Structure 1
Amino acid sequence: MNTREIKVQKQGWIPKKERVWIIVAIIIAVSIMFWELKGLSQLSLTTLHSKQFKHTFKGFGSSARIALFFVLAYYVLLRIIRLRMLKGQSKVKKWLSTLLRFTRRWHTPAAIIAIAFIILHTVAVFMHGFKFDFNNISGLVSLLVLLPVPISGLFRYQRMDRKWHLRSGIAFAILFLIHSFL
């Protein structure tokens, strides 16, 4: 065992410098979920099947979409910064690297909050009435593909994921975009 593997074993599942923000994001996500689920559970059946409620669960989906675009921005910036045409552009690369560090730092907390909104969106859709149409099926499939992403993200911290986090994340992003815009 080399020193790098020993260091990874000692640090735990989540690095110390990210642990605080991840715990804060989990607390925020759980608080949002409990608050909104409490509100959803108090609605009458006529409200659940109204057009006004449709705006409610679409609002959850829109909030998740905004957070997910921020989460996906990390991968887009990572890809852009590796482009060969930026080889001589030191000012642009410096600006992009600052932006990349910012998106990397907030990638996981934003993803946790996005997952909370996705769960709320899913619960509200099932409360409204799940219909077997393209939009609902694509959302359900993208939700199923989302399940391994946070698990492989934990393995990513341990350098044990063999790029499963990226692969399942890309698959989810494609299905999510199909669900959101078609």
Structure 2
Amino acid sequence: MSTREIKVQKQGWIPKKERIWVIVAIMVAALIMLWELKGLLQLSFTTLHSRQFEHTFKGFGSNARIAVFFVLAYYVLLRVMKLRHLKGQVKVKKWLSTLLRFARKWHTPAAIIAIAFIVLHTVAVFMHGFKFDFNNISGLISLVVLLPVPISGLFRYKKMDRKWHLRSGIAFAVLFLIHSFL
């Protein structure tokens, strides 16, 4: 084996420069989920079916939406950087590249926290009472499409995903937007 192959084998799934932020995001997401699930499990049956509880699970969804928009900003900025209209705009490209670096650095940690809020939102909706309407079905479908996104993201670090992370992420984003705004 060449030295490059040995180095790739020794390297973990997550690059060293991102590992600390991913671990911190996992810990924050786990703490948020444990804290909120503990609170949800202590609620009475009448509270679970009240209007007030509806605001609770919609709050989880709103927090998830903010985090998902931040995650998607990376792809939007990447696309904007490739526009022809920006060929001579050095200052704009420099500013956009700074934003792009920031969005790339926080893409994975924000996605981990977004997934935590999505899980909390899903659990709260099922606790409130799942109805077979458009909003709940579209949310359930987008949740199913979300499942391969973090898995393919891990393969993305190893360059083994064959664009599945991007494709499943775009599918999730479209379904998530339908669920959020319709």
Map 1:80-99; keep pairs closer than 5 Å.
80-99=80-99
Aligned twin of 2:171: 171
Letter in 2 for 1:42: Q
Unpaired runs of 5+ in structure 2? none
Alpha-carbon spacing, 1:135–1:53, altered in 2? closer, same or farther (3 Å): same
Q: CA deviation at 1:98?
A: 0.4
Aligned equivalents of 1:30 and 1:20: distance in 2?
Answer: 15
CA displacement at 1:138 relative to structure 2: 0.1
1:111 and 2:75 aligned: no
Query: What is the distance in 1 between the residues matched to 2:9 and 2:78?
Result: 27
- The equivalent of 2:153 in structure 1 is 153
Distance 1:101 1:34 in 2: 31
Return the alpha-carbon distance in structure 2 between the equivalents of residues 116 and 34 of structure 1: 10
RMSD over aligned Cα atoms:
1.0
Partner in structure 1 of residue 130 of structure 2: 130
Confirm or deny that 1:40 pairs with 2:40. Answer: yes
**Which residue does the alignment assign to 2:16?**
16
Question: Could you tell me the TM-score, scaled by structure 2's length?
Answer: 0.97
The 2-side partners of 1:59 and 1:102 are apart by 26
Q: SS in structure 1 opposite 2:13?
A: coil
> Aligned equivalents of 1:98 and 1:121: distance in 2?
33
**Cα-to-partner distance string for 1:64-87 (whole Å, 9 max, x where unaligned):** 000000000000000000111111
Q: Secondary structure of the equivalent of 1:14?
A: coil
Offset of 1:4 from its aligned partner? Answer: 4.9
The 1:107/1:4 distance shift into structure 2, 3 A limit, reads farther
Distance 1:4 1:65 in 2: 40
What SS class does the counterpart of residue 160 from structure 2 fall into?
Answer: coil
Partner of 1:159, secondary structure, is coil
Query: In structure 2, do the counterparts of structure 1 residues 2 and 86 end up closer, same or farther at CA, with 3 Å as the change threshold?
Result: farther
What is the match of residue 142 of structure 1?
142
CA distance in structure 2 between the partners assigned to 1:47 and 1:77 by the alignment? 42
Match of 2:77 in 1: 77
Give the Cα separation in 2 of the matches to 1:71 and 1:11: 25
Q: Secondary structure at the match of 2:23?
A: helix
Counterparts of 1:21 and 1:66, CA distance in 2: 19
1:47-62 correspondence runs (5 A): 47-62=47-62
Unaligned runs of at least 5 residues, structure 1: none
Percent of residue pairs identical: 85
Alpha-carbon deviation of 1:127? 0.1
> What's the offset of the Cα at 1:10?
2.2
